[in-house]
Each structure stands twice: as C-alpha cells, then as structure tokens.
C-alpha cells in the first residue's frame, strides 16, 4: 500500500446519519473532506434507517438536550430547503406514562424549563382526541405539537448530495481496517482499498465505533433492536394527521411508535427489545416469532385498532452508552480525533446538529454547542 497523494483536511469514518451530516458541514466550510462508508449510502446494516424516526422538542431524557434539538430542527429545515427533499413531517408528539414516571415527568420538566408549548392530557382525553390510543384513563400524556418524524434515508441522501455539491469526496463499500496517528500529529487511515492521510479524523461508525477505538470499548455497546409494522383495522386513525408520534412507559416496558408512512402499517418498537448485546459483524438480522409476539402483545393491549396483519418486521442496532447519554468529544489521547457514539436509541433526530458539532471538534477541537454532559471523561 502507498499513501494517497491527496492528503485530506479531514476523514470521516461512517456516512450514516451522523457521518453524512459531519461530511456536509465540513465541506460547506471549505475543508477537503473524505467520507468513507463500508456499506452502501444509505444502508440497512446499522442504526440510520427504518423509513421514519421520531423527532420531538419535549425531551424526558434530560433538559440539556433541548438547545441541541432546537438547533437540529433549524438544520433539518435548512438541508430540506437546500436539497428539496422532505425530511421533517410534523405530527405532534406524545410522551405518556403513569403519573410520577420519568417519561411523562421528564418531558413536562423539559417543556416548563424551556417554555415549550405543550398540553397535559389524561389517558382518556388522549383517546378522545386521537382515537387510535387506548391507554388507561388515569395515565398522564404530554402532547407537544411540533413533534413528528424525520425520514432517515432522505436525510442521509440530502446531506450526501449537499456535501458532494460542496466538494466532498464520499466513497461507499470501502471498509476502514485501521488508523494510526502520524508523526506530525495527523492520522493515517488504512482501508480495504488503499491508505489515506489527514489532519484530523471523525469516528461516526455507529455500532463499529468501539472496533475503531479502544477508548470506546465498553462505552458504545451494540444491541439488537426489532421494529414491526402492523396493518390497522381502521387505517385513518393511524395516518400522520391523526396520530402523533409517541413514547409510552407501561408495565411491559418503554415503547415508541409512529404513524403510517412510506410502507403499509403502524410502526412500533420497544426500547432494549430483548436486551441482546451483539457483535455488529455477527448477529441475528432476521426477526423471528418471539420478536413479533412481543410487539404484537403490546399493540393488542394499547393500540387494539392497529393490531391487524403484520406488514413488515425489521432489525436495527442501538449502540448504548452506560448512562444512555451521547458521547460527543475528542479522544483523550488523540485530540485530532472527534467521536460521536453511544446514541442509545435516541440519537438520529439530532444528526443534523451533531454533524455541526463534529465539524467543530474536528477542526477546532471544541464547539460552542452545550455538550459538556456528553464528554467521554465522565466514565473515568
């Protein structure tokens, strides 16, 4: 192997949700950036797929996410305007649970602290307004009208198209085998095809991040996830103008779902589906009867009008951090390497702003975005 004559300013490993956005923001700023993707652009092997992905302004996980989601909305609208691709669809969002549960209480707190418009409904009031739901009457539901879904494939393609137009070089089906620091403080990246050098590096490889950095071992752990699409008996109750996206905590676990869009069926999943930690290169990608049964049992109880024939089952990967908050930082021993990892099943909605953050970290080693709680040093 010989070093490519074209030394780059930045190399981005992974051109999924986060990596495509980072490549775009770097190219837009005039940097010579190379994006490397081991699969297709886009692909269905990792976390950045699934037809629809929830976006919401109410954020029960922690109020510190709110400034980032506000910026993410702005950037999603910007890339949609730039490319003409429909990316955000606003349906409203619902976070529901028994009173005192973090899903409801955390969402309420985030809205109150950041003056986000919202309504509090009982389970009965929620069903009256959106008849697809059948939650217990005494549950609490926070409704926020700006929530909805992002179309992940359109988002990735949009970022890639805009990055290419700005001069980026993006190469699919080129697997990164290893990287190392160079004597001048840059990086050398060895792939299945050749070797490249750059001043800095972005690790945005999703479930494969921990295979590219020892610092992420045990901090970015892949988990098998399954999604189902069931055909409703009354489809009109589950269209985007009739059913807000939702997160619901019930005795059976924490579930999430979206209206019909793109393929037939009402879409849903369960956080930490069967608690299966996996190797992203060796895992059961085909859903089975136990996967379907778990999701159908929930649907029959809480969305009975949606529990018709199965239309589709699909798998994807979560990559979980120990506290289920993001990892956005530079590597402790390699300040020229920015990393985005551990999105724990709730990261895609932020991809547009995370691309901006990664561009900041790769070029300046810091960002003005409030990412203090996402530092890798918190696990020391």
pLDDT, residue 2, reads 39
Q: For 46-61, write each residue's pLDDT tens digit.
A: 999 999 999 999 999 9
Residue ranges, comma separated, of all CATH 3.50.50.60 domains in the chain are 8-48+153-220+324-379
Domain 8-48+153-220+324-379 belongs to what topology?
FAD/NAD(P)-binding domain (3.50.50)
Considering the chain, what percentage of its residues have pLDDT values greater than 90? 98
pLDDT, residue 3, reads 45
pLDDT, residue 219, reads 98
Please state, in angstroms and rounded to a whole number, the distance separating the CA atoms of residues 196 and 185.
14
Q: For 62-101, write each residue's pLDDT tens digit.
A: 988 999 999 999 999 999 999 999 999 999 999 999 999 9
Residue 19 has pLDDT above 80, yes or no: yes
Please state, in angstroms and rounded to a whole number, the distance separating the CA atoms of residues 354 and 265.
30
Q: For 156-202, write each residue's pLDDT tens digit.
A: 999 999 999 999 999 999 999 999 999 999 999 999 999 999 999 99
Residue 2: Cβ within 10 Å count = 6
pLDDT, residue 1, reads 33
Q: For 203-256, write each residue's pLDDT tens digit.
A: 999 999 999 999 999 999 999 999 999 999 999 999 999 999 999 999 999 999
φ and ψ of 73, to 5 deg: -55, -45
Tokens read off for 170:
């993006």
| Sign, CA torsion 142/238/52/227 | positive
Picking from 289, 263, 290, the residue whose alpha carbon sits closest to that of residue 275 is 290
Tokens read off for 234:
């009354």
Please state, in angstroms and rounded to a whole number, the distance separating the CA atoms of residues 48 and 42.
8
Residue ranges, comma separated, of all CATH 3.30.9.10 domains in the chain are 93-145+226-319
Tokens read off for 104:
């409801």
Please state, in angstroms and rounded to a whole number, the distance separating the CA atoms of residues 321 and 84.
35
Q: For 126-163, write each residue's pLDDT tens digit.
A: 999 999 999 999 999 999 999 999 999 999 999 999 99
Domain 93-145+226-319 belongs to what topology?
D-Amino Acid Oxidase; Chain A, domain 2 (3.30.9)
Give the mean pLDDT of the chain: 97
**Catalytic residue list:** 49, 52-53, 267, 272, 316, 349
pTM above 0.85, yes or no: yes
Mean pLDDT across 257-280:
97
Mean pLDDT across 301-314:
98
The DSSP-derived string for 27-63 is HHTT--EEEE-SS-SS-SSSSS-SS-EEE-S--TT-G
Tokens read off for 16:
């999924």
φ and ψ of 136, to 5 deg: -55, 145
Confidence of residue 292 (pLDDT cuts 50, 70, 90): very high
Mean pLDDT across 349-371:
98
Q: What 3 state SS string does 59-124 have?
A: CCCCHHHHHHHHHHHHHHHHHHHHHCCCCEEECCEEEEECCCCHHHHHHHHHHHHCCCCCEEEEHH
Determine whether 85 is exposed, middle or buried from the number of CB atoms within 10 Å of its CB (0-12, 13-18, 19+): middle
Mean pLDDT across 306-331:
98
Tell me what percent of the chain is helix, strand and coil, each rounded to the nearest 5: 30, 30, 40
């Amino acid at each position: 192997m010989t070093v490519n004559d074209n030394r780059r300013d930045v190399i981005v490993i992974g051109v999924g949700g986060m990596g495509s956005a980072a490549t775009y923001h770097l190219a837009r700023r005039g940097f010579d950036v190379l994006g490397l993707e081991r699969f297709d652009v886009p692909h269905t092997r990792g976390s950045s797929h699934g037809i629809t992905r929830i976006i919401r302004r109410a954020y029960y996980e922690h109020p510190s996410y709110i400034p980032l989601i506000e910026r993410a909305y702005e950037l999603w609208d910007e890339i949609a305007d730039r490319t003409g691709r429909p990316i955000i669809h606003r349906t409203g969002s619902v976070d529901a649970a028994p009173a005192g549960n973090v899903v409801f209480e955390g969402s309420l707190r985030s809205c109150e602290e950041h003056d986000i418009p919202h309504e509090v409904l009982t389970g009965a009031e929620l069903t009256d307004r959106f008849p697809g739901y059948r939650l217990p009457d005494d549950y609490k539901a926070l409704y926020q009208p700006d929530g909805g879904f992002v179309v992940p494939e359109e988002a990735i393609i949009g970022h890639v198209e805009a990055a290419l137009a700005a001069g980026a070089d993006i190469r699919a089906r080129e697997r990164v085998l290893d990287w190392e620091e160079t004597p001048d403080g840059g990086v050398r990246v060895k792939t299945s095809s050749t070797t490249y050098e750059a001043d800095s590096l972005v690790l945005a490889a999703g479930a494969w991040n921990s295979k590219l950095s020892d610092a992420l071992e045990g901090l970015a752990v892949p988990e098998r996830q399954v999604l189902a699409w069931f055909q409703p008996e009354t489809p009109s109750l589950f269209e985007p103008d009739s059913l807000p996206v939702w997160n619901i905590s019930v005795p059976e676990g924490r579930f999430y779902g979206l209206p019909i869009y793109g393929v037939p069926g009402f879409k849903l999943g369960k956080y930490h589906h069967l608690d299966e930690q996996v190797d992203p290169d060796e895992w059961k990608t085909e859903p089975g009867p136990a996967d379907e049964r778990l999701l159908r049992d929930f649907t029959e109880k809480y969305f009975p009008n949606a529990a018709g024939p199965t239309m589709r089952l699909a798998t994807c990967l979560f990559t979980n951090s120990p506290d289920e908050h993001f990892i956005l930082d530079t590597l402790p021993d390699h300040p020229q390497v920015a990393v985005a990892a551990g999105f724990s099943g709730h990261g895609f909605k932020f991809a547009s702003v995370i691309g901006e953050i990664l561009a900041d970290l790769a070029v300046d080693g810091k960002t003005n975005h409030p990412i203090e709680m996402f530092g890798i040093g918190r696990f020391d």
